[in-house]
Structure 1
Amino acid sequence: MPVQSHSAPRGEIRALTGLRLVAALWVLVYHLQAGIGAAAGRYLDPVMPVLRAGWLGVDLFFVLSGFVMALTYLDDMGPRFGRRATGRFLWARLCRVWPLWVLLTCLFAGWLLLSGRGVAGPVEEQRVVTPLALLEQVLMVQMWHRDSLWGSTFVLAGWSLSVEFLAYVCFPVLVLVVWRLRRLPVVLLASGAVGVMVPLAYLSFSTGMDNDVLPWQVRIGGAFVSGMLTCLVVRRIGGSATASRWSPLAASLCLVYVVFVCWWSATRSDQQLGDYSGVAALFFPVLVGALALAPRGLATLLSSDTAVVGGRISFALYLVHGCVFEITDDLFQRVPALQPGSPLWTLVQPGLVLVCLALSYGLWRGVEEPARRWLRRVGPGGRRAPARPPSDRFPPSPDRPPSRCPSGGRGRVRPA
């Protein structure tokens, strides 16, 4: 049965929407790696290093977010600070993420209380459900005063939503700076987009830090700014014959090298304890920029209707999969035949992915999109459309004429 095709919003780069699905699935299989490994055994050994590096899907999301925010709001908010424009921007972001977040947070807090895991105990990462903690979660500020991911959030992926919301709060200032960098040479902008990812890659390379202990401030700060600078590069060279010719190859090479770094990390981890796959984050801005420019190749695959719909449900998938895995873990512990490691347990693991996808689609269609549209109507700006490029894939840069180039295109769950 073919997937229903939805019209793309103005200014949407479909390949990057499809890439969101890849990032969400990468995080999902990271949390399900023990179940998948038990179910498939040695047959999945070649790809297990890539699955174990799935926590990097969060950093890919951060780069994508910075890119899309700059693409959408740079011309509107970059020239000068405006209170109304800032208010409309923050309201638009709340409309996008808050309704589904509040629903899942409240429902899962109820499950934590019902299962007995939401009360105080000796386990360090146990999440204690109190009225104050629930308010903190609902307001998406739970990470602003914490350094550790453990026990920071009820919903597994909520820590990254909290730090990204902090990036949104800082965006009206960041965009003023980025706007004033737009005329720098493309080489400097591209070097800066990769350079701000170096601290994350260096920490991973030199210490073997992984998702659990890497400073979240380094991750969101570098990746979000990297995405914004990548957008400046794309605006400057988008539509050129050289970019159209070489960007498909660049995207494919980046993907190959990310996989290679995951294998390299697994080989090094056999000799030294640690996870060194964070080095792969260096290639994320290049991957995002190349896919935004590419008219064919990998961009064509990610621009398909199925991938784009998957990208649009990726936020729901990212939030709900941890709830599904934790609830099923709790239930399986109460059924002897479903104890972790049993034949029946391994048999049902892949089916959980289908459950997550089905729930995500239902939440996107039934909660996320209707709530977003209603909040946009009643909030600042009323029915006013968000600032988006009017027709072309990227707005004309002040340094080049408008483009006429056609568009192309688990064990126990851990935080990620």
Structure 2
Amino acid sequence: MHSTQRPTRRAEIRALTGLRLVAALWVVAYHLGTGLQSSVGPAVEPLMPVVRAGWLGVDLFFVLSGFVMALTYLDTMGPRFGWRRSGVFLWARLARVWPLWVLLTLLFSGWLLISDRGLAGPPGHQRVVEPLALLEQLFMVQMWHRDEVWGSTFVLAGWSLSVEMLAYVCFPLLVLVLWRLRRLPVTLLAAGSVAAMVPLAYLAYRTGAEPEALPWTLRIAGAFVSGGLVCLAVRRLEGSSAALRWSPLVAALAVAHVVFVCLWAATRAQHQPGHYAGVATMLFPVLVGALALAPRGLATLLSGDTAVLGGRISFALYLVHGCVFEIADDVAHWVRPLNPGTPLWALVQPGLVLASLLLAWVLFRFVEEPARGWMRRIGPSSGARRGDRPVAAAGTGGGTVALPLQRPVARPVAAPPHPHRRPATAPRAAAVRAAAVAARDLRPPLADRRSAVGG
């Protein structure tokens, strides 16, 4: 039971927005790690087990995406399938990710054409700019017919954007299933969210395969289902005093266990220990769910203004950092004092991260947000009424994790209102009852009501 008044409001789960910055910086550290270790050496060795596992930041993005998509669209798209609603949803996702992606793909393709890699790429990593490959990437379908990540995209992180777009195409069907599971016991939903990540974790445990060789379909499907199920569990736990009390501890323990798995993975292999860290993906739904509920602790740290701003620019950072790193690597090979491994090369590494952050803010402020607003204005409209749930951003292609939450404002005292009806205030309810009494004698007989209402 819930309170008689459950106002719908636009709330931002700031801790999850801050978590997006953590995921993006984890990926940045992963791509920077090899060069940094070769330049600085023992100074960064204690951090390397976690840095080598930075590829898991992509899977954390995927779980976040499944969570936010489910929480935002469950009530509007879950009860029944609708072509219009699905089209509006997909256009909203395109508006979020496509403009910035197209700009960076075209700019970086131009760089490849004037660099050595525009003529011949390194072994196993084709970088030749061909018209068909460029067209595939502009439409974000380059991974839909490929099994492996290598050579699929010019912009380093673009492969995950392609697979997440495929998940968006399938989401209108997934949300139908989630809607019908929403009343399952919380323990079953929570266990299911962890179980959805078990296949990927088991594959990493058994094989230690490099991240690029792991089945991307398994990564995106498991994470989206996991995020959706933990979303259902969080919806059921909102307002629970036990959840508020224990969620900060659960979030802290989840982070500690992720770090422990990274350290454990470092003992499994001499050359690529970070590959076994995929076992930690089972902890991601636990972390996301706990942070969504936690009122303090780690959630407070991630809810700070700096972390939230970082979360909002995380999509731009996720895309642009690879371009910055690769351009810097090209220049380093052309300028002898900057050759990888030299003291000057080690000195510029932090500057590359800072440059990526500044560029990410510029792209977010002057490209991503204005272009998104323009596409939303010219695209299909959902015809939403005042008070309808707003669209949130999520995943590798999102910005703010802005979610419409419904939290009880008092202890349960009556049956909940209809889920798709705005709750009436006491004066309005009295007026409705008076009108119904006044019109009672004007209603047609029961046998005639079907035709009277067009039923």
TM-score in terms of structure 2 length? 0.83
Q: What amino acid is the match of 2:267?
A: T
Deviations 1:20-70 (A, max 9, x none): 000000000000002332454323222110000000000000000000101
Report the equivalent of 2:36.
Answer: 36
Q: 2:406 aligns with which of 358, 374, 395?
A: 395
CA distance in 2, matches of 1:275, 1:153: 22
Cα distance in 2 for residues equivalent to 1:69 and 1:183: 18
Residues in 1 aligned to 2:220 and 2:348: alpha-carbon distance in whole angstroms? 35
Aligned residue in 2 for 1:211? 211
Which residue number in structure 2 is paired with residue 171 of structure 1? Answer: 171
Partner of 1:126: 126
Superimposed CA distance per residue, residues 386-415 of structure 1 (whole angstroms, 9 cap, x where no aligned partner): 833999963369x9969xxxxxxxxxxxxx
CA distance in 1, matches of 2:369, 2:391: 21
Question: Does the CA-based 8 Å contact 2:68-2:403 persist in structure 1?
Answer: no
Q: Distance in 1 between matches of 2:272 and 2:324?
A: 34
SS at 1:180's partner residue? helix
Give the SS at the match of 1:267. Answer: coil
User: Distance in 2 between the 1:268 and 1:41 partners?
Assistant: 21
Structure having the higher Rg: 2
- Kept after mapping to 1: 8 A contact 2:267/2:273: no
Helix, strand or coil at the partner of 1:276:
helix
Query: For residues 80-229 of structure 1, what are the structure 2 equivalents within 5 Å?
Result: 80-119=80-119, 123-229=123-229
C-alpha displacement at 1:384, in angstroms? 5.4
Aligned 8 A contact 2:226 2:285 in 1: yes
Q: Which amino acid aligns with 1:150?
A: W
Flag structure 1 segments of 5+ consecutive residues without an equivalent.
1-8, 403-416
User: 2:263 and 2:269 mapped to 1: Cα distance?
Assistant: 10
User: Mean alpha-carbon deviation: is it higher for 32-41 or for 303-312?
Assistant: 32-41
Count residues in correspondence. Answer: 394
Q: What's 1:366 paired with?
A: 366
Contact 1:118 1:126 in 2 (8 A): no
For structure 1, which segment, 158-167 or 128-137, has the greater mean C-alpha deviation from structure 2 after superposition? Answer: 128-137
Gaps of 5+ in 2: 1-8, 393-401, 409-413, 418-455
Q: 1:103–1:246: structure 2 CA closer, same or farther, 3 Å change rule?
A: same
CA change 1:224–1:259 in 2 (3 A) is same
Residue in 1 that maps onto 2:11: 11
Deviations 1:282-331 (A, max 9, x none): 00000000000000000001011110110000000000000000001001
Query: 3-state DSSP class of the match of 2:266?
Result: helix
Which residue identity is paired with 1:141? V
Structure 2: distance between partners of 1:193 and 1:382: 30
For residues 406 and 161 of structure 2, what CA distance do their matches in structure 1 show? 28
Letter in structure 1 aligned against 2:237: I
How far is the alpha carbon of 1:122 from its aligned partner? Answer: 7.4
**SS at structure 2 position matched to 1:275:** helix
Identity %: 69
In the other structure, the counterpart of 1:408 is none
TM-score scaled by structure 1? 0.90
Deviation at 1:209, TM superposition (A): 1.4
C-alpha RMSD of the superposition: 2.4
Q: Deviations over 1:67-96 (max 9, x none)?
A: 010111110100001111111100000000
How big is each residue's C-alpha offset from its partner over 1:99-142, in whole Å with a ceiling of 9 and x where there is no partner?
00000000011111111313456732112212211110000000
